[in-house]
Structure 1
Amino acid sequence: MVVAVHRLQESAKLPSSSAYLGEEPNMSIILVADIGGTNGRFGLVNACTHGKGYNAEKQISLASGDYPTLADMIRDYVKQADVPMPKFACLAIAGPIQDGHVKVTNLNWEFSISKLRDELNMQALDVINDYSALAYAAPHLQANDKKTLYSKDANPYAPIGVMGPGTGFGAALLAPVSNGWKIIPTEGGHCSFAPTTDTEIAILQEMRKQHDHVSIEHLLSGQGLVSIYRSIAVIEGAEAEDLSPADVSARGMKHQDPLCEQALQSFCNILGSVAGDKALSWGAMGGIYLGGGIVPKIADYLPQTDFIKRYLNKGIMRGYVEDIPVHMVTNDKAALIGSAAWLVDTTQALQS
């Protein structure tokens, strides 16, 4: 069982901190971070001004692979930001969290939350799944933090679904409860891939040669785009080049390579189908939000694909999905917003 959130603290109360962000004294500073297999994004949030939004100051992105441990990465951020080590932190992590232990997907990092808290001399440390943080950010996103791909009026009292391709494929649900929102983490990226077209059936057959179980993540991720490209090359009897995900997407968007463009078209179409499937499965009448590092980079190309057509193509349930809007998260620091909102809201709940 994957646990979305783990809190370790010595006290539920946020203490006053020194005014090292140039604001008024007696404020509470939260270190927030979004730690993925490729990058770690950090920032500092003033919890006392959350009514004005959760935008983090002193934002810095660091390459995850440059550090042997997460503690080393956090220390380097604090050094570069030129601030004391905050006493409170909420970290969004790409990986499972269970019994106070974290394993970061796509990195050789495993750590105990309690030991990390003590090592950094923090008073409270929350760790949540990265897509849980992104989901919690959804209600707090401003107009310039997102772009609408399919416009409908969302039901403000209904669940919100968040998903997206990046290094892997993340997915989480945000459900309304009496006192706010509840995160429901999922491992939806590891559900079985369901092909819709003859080409996708052929891609599945080709990918089954490498995987006993072909998941959504095997196609909807950076490496998944490359796998689609290579599979199509085999299907077409062509020679695949040694291309990166960025190569495939760039060539496809510029119409420079038919195989790359076919791969990118398939990627976008499959993403549309998966988004529609999740909308149905989750009852996400509050909207579908697409996150991850890939979608914003291909946003201008999406209208040239069957993304929306495939999103709506749900047979007798088409009318149901037609009422669910789709947004793309354009703020790549959105998980920082969610992390800060989570820590503030849960701390307030503990104090009440």
Structure 2
Amino acid sequence: MTVPHGPWLVADIGGTNARLGWVEGPGGDVCHVRTLPVLGHAHPHDAVRAYLEQVGPLVDGPAVPRRAALAVATAVGHDEIAFTNSPWRFSARALQQTLGLERLQVLNDFEALALSLPRLGAGQLRAIGPGLPRPEGTLAVIGPGTGLGVGGVTRTRHGWVALPGEGGHATLAPADEFESAVLAAARTRFEHVSAERLLSGIGLPVLHASVAEAMGQAVELLPAEVIVERGVAGVDALCERTLDTFCAMLGGFAGSVALTLGARGGVYVGGGIVPRLGERFFQSRFRERFEAKGRFRGYLHAIPTALITDTLAALTGAAFAIEQDGA
């Protein structure tokens, strides 16, 4: 397979921010990374143009990428891309023509993050429990950010193949009576309580309100940032209980993903929320609940879990997608 010539533009576009980077060519590192607010630009084209203007003086030659790979926080399968948690939408064909690209690849953001997993080293990870994941067999990744992403990657004789999906929208299951009460409270507001509905940036306020109802307390509507800040600081018992519930339920969900994909090489945690929890996350019930699957406790006990500490991992995966696409 011939690897396409550079330079390349890579992007990781979520519901809140668009992170863009530059790759000079095959084997090159992602550089000149900039983060642009989604709501600050009317269209992805505007964000790309703003980025190219910023990095133009820094790149080797004109800031005209030959190819691009965009990792987007929504389902991908048609030319028209509509984001789940932001107002952005675009036609992939039209964007390719507007930017003058030889080829534009659009992939799910967790497909890109999954493609980065086999290349992540110990310096880009922090173990959750004993040991780090092993780049073998099948690997899985979950990521609570604005939404909740889920993806996987498996080794084949042709190389690593990503397993994209929308697992964050799978129905969330309780593990005890308290979680049953939390979900019952959430169901009074939503017909379907998915994992993303509670275990994400948009879900934390819902989880906080549902925990309050389950505890028989008055509901104070708080944004996710405040819930995290108060809970981590230990100045609000309800916010603390919310974060403890978040970590426990995330662990149970991660264990279900591991079982579904057969991710015996490891399960990785990405997204922007968990790093903000600091040591509270590593002292939480995440790993306990990850393994708490009855007869398959031993199966899950052998699967390592780790937090991705490298914020550029999805961009690296997007660059790998271009490499694998060929000339």
The TM-score range, normalised by the shorter chain, is: over 0.9
1:157 to 1:232, Cα distance in 2 relative to 1, 3 A: closer
On the 8 A contact 1:47/1:344 being kept in 2, the answer is no
Match of 2:257 among 278, 301, 304: 278
Residues 236/154 of structure 1: CA separation in 2 closer, same or farther (3 Å cut): closer
How many residues of Structure 1 are paired with residues of Structure 2 in the alignment? 321
Matched residue, 2:10: 32
Task: After TM superposition, list the pairs within 5 Å mapping 1:1-352 onto structure 2.
Answer: 14-15=4-5, 28-48=6-26, 50=27, 55-82=29-56, 83-152=62-131, 154=133, 156-347=135-326, 351=327
Other structure's SS at 2:202 match: helix
* Cα distance in 2 for residues equivalent to 1:195 and 1:117: 44
Q: CA–CA distance in 2 between the matches of 1:40 and 1:316? A: 42
Whether the aligned pair in 2 keeps the contact of 1:154 and 1:323 (CA below 8 Å) is no
- What TM-score results when the alignment is normalised by the length of structure 2? 0.94
* 2:253 partner SS: helix
Unpaired runs of 5+ residues, structure 1, are: 1-11, 16-27
Judged with a 3 Å threshold, the aligned counterparts in structure 2 of structure 1 residues 257 and 40 are, in CA distance, closer, same or farther, namely same
Q: Deviations over 1:233-287 (max 9, x none)?
A: 2233322333211111111112111111011100000011111111111110111
Residue 23 of structure 1 corresponds to none
Name the CA shift for 1:152/1:304 in 2 (closer, same or farther; >3 Å).
closer
Tell me if structure 1 keeps the 8 A contact 2:118–2:135.
no
For residues 283 and 301 of structure 1, the distance between their equivalents in structure 2, rounded to whole angstroms, comes to 28
The CA distance in 2 between the partners of 1:142 and 1:236, in whole Å, is: 42
Question: Helix, strand or coil: the match of 1:210?
Answer: coil
Structure 2 unaligned blocks of 5 or more = 57-61
Task: Tell me the equivalent position of 2:59.
Answer: none
Contact 2:129 2:304 in 1 (8 A): yes
Q: Distance in 2 between matches of 1:106 and 1:228?
A: 18
Query: 1:7-60, CA deviations, whole angstroms, 9 ceiling, x for partnerless residues?
Result: xxxxx8734xxxxxxxxxxxx211110011100001111223x1xxx5311111
**Separation (CA, whole Å) in 2 of partners of 1:126 and 1:115:** 13
Distance 1:164 1:114 in 2: 29
State the secondary structure of the residue aligned to 1:242.
coil
- In the superposition, relative to structure 1, how do residues 291 and 65 fare at CA in structure 2: closer, same or farther (>3 Å)? same
Is the 1:169–1:217 Cα contact (8 Å) retained in structure 2? yes
Is contact 1:153–1:323 with CA below 8 Å preserved after alignment?
no
Give the share of equivalent positions with the same residue, in percent.
Answer: 36
1:207-252 per-residue CA deviation (whole Å, 9 max, x = no partner) reads: 1111111111111101222111111222333223332111111111
Shift, 1:343, TM fit? 0.6
Q: In structure 2, what is the Cα distance between the partners aligned to 1:177 and 1:235?
A: 46
- Report deviation, 1:100: 2.1
